Amino acid sequence: MNAHPSKVAKDLSAPNDLEAWWLPFTANRAFKQKPRMVARAKGMYYYTPDGREVIDGAAGLWCCNAGHNRDEITAAIQAQAAELDYSPAFQFGHAGGFALASRIAQLAPGDLDHVFFCNSGSEAVDTALKIALAYWNVQGQGSRTRLIGRERGYHGVGFGGISVGGIVKNRQFFGTLLAGVDHLPHTYNRAEQAFSRGEPEWGAHLADELERIVALHDASTIAAVIVEPMAGSTGVLPPPKGYLQRLRQICDKYGILLIFDEVISGFGRLGTTFAAERYGVVPDMITFAKGVNSGTVPMGGVLVRKSIHDAFMKGPDHVIELFHGYTYSGHPLACAAGLAAQDIYRDEKLFERAKTLEPVWADAIHGLKGLPNVLDIRTIGLVGAIDLASRPDAVGARAYEAMDRGFQEEGLMIRVTGDTIALSPPLIVTEDQIGEIADKLARIIRKVA
């Protein structure tokens, strides 16, 4: 196809033409002055165009739990593309979608027996919120429209997700968002929880704030509460001991649906298939994405309890029960990748492996305590966060420099949010590679002092 006649022709094969792509959640001007480019990946490593090795300390974006370019997943995607490239999910189905839904439902706790597929964590959250609102309508309780999120929560970038989310920069530019939303307080208190390993002892009482919100709005107006079991994108905030259990009790008391956003914590990140299992809490819905097929093909979904699903299965058989869905729901390639990833997780016992490695990981990351400008360290499962002191004139600059130096100089990929370094390596990480990540981090933190 020829370029538009009003535009100057470009050499589109040139790898240094960076103008057209507006990168998401990126400082675009800084990036294009000093790009951080990856060309390929395998196992625990990315590789730059010039062949330099970069160890992945972030599992991509919390998603490549089985590591990169696993042969089994690649083969499954290729075979599926050659057999069935696309199948509509509206009024039609394919075997792979039903097979993957069954596998995921079997892994979920309690009676979370039904899966609604979408294509990302953001779509999964908006789907769960819509199911919650629609559920109360079909139950004859249409006054239950209020949604309760949490400060510092991240639930993707859809209007539903940013409305119940609690990260300021994700909200402030986009108008009034959804009406009828309230927020629980976040669970982090450095004075009480600093340098915690696993779930902090302090903070379970913060769940009781839901009682205050119920008293303010009345339970008859509240549809659902949504929280991340572990708040990931805001800087890794593990739940205080007893906090999630208390939320479940209060939701049960007032008949409010409880949604766990497990887009990050699902599929082994905390040593169990879902965080719900680690904490012994069965929510009414679980959102998932990322790790479901190790980040290879966009996919997300919502696990729904049987009673919620069955409430929709009424009326004439030929009538659509839920007016919601996406063109690419249950995409054949995503499902093929998901089935292959689930096989790897099972056969290599990667979730159990994450649990076994948790204390090794905690020792390595907490070993960075005492380095310049380190204010706090938190670890849980195979996740970690390091809070760095902000520079007086530039909040976020120190962690940004750490991220850039990590990639350009040390061969380490990390995530940063504000002045927090976030870590979540693929579940295939070895003890030696954990040591490698910690050693590189130590050098980086000293460089940005």
Give the residue from 243, 193, 237, 204 showing the smallest Cα distance to 380. Answer: 237
Report the CATH architecture of 73-347. Answer: 3-Layer(aba) Sandwich (3.40)
DSSP state of 146: E
Q: Please, what CATH class does the domain formed by 28-69+349-447 belong to?
A: alpha beta
Check: CB of residue 285 under 8 Å from CB of residue 130. no
Give every CB contact of residue 314 below 8 A, 6+ residues apart in sequence: 138, 321
Using only C-alpha atoms, the chain has a radius of gyration, in whole angstroms, of 22
Give the residue from 213, 302, 205, 312 showing the smallest Cα distance to 254. Answer: 213
Residue 408 structure tokens:
């350009």
C-alpha distance from residue 307 to each of 127, 135, 284, 290, 311 (Å): 17, 10, 9, 26, 6
In tens digits, the chain (449 residues) has pLDDT values of 566 767 666 665 555 689 999 999 999 999 999 999 999 999 999 999 999 999 999 999 999 999 999 999 999 999 999 999 999 999 999 999 999 999 999 999 999 999 999 999 999 999 999 999 999 999 999 999 999 999 999 999 999 999 999 999 999 999 999 999 999 999 999 999 999 999 999 999 999 999 999 999 999 999 999 999 999 999 999 999 999 999 999 999 999 999 999 999 999 999 999 999 999 999 999 999 999 999 999 999 999 999 999 999 999 999 999 999 999 999 999 999 999 999 999 999 999 999 999 999 999 999 999 999 999 999 999 999 999 999 999 999 999 999 999 999 999 999 999 999 999 999 999 999 999 999 999 999 999 99
Residue 94 structure tokens:
């394919």
d(CA 86, CA 108): 27
Torsions phi, psi of 384, nearest 5?
Answer: -150, 160
Adjacency order of strands within the sheet including 40-42: 40-42, 45-47, 53-56, 412-413
**Domain residue extents for the chain:** 28-69+349-447, 73-347
Q: Is the pTM of this model over 0.75?
A: yes
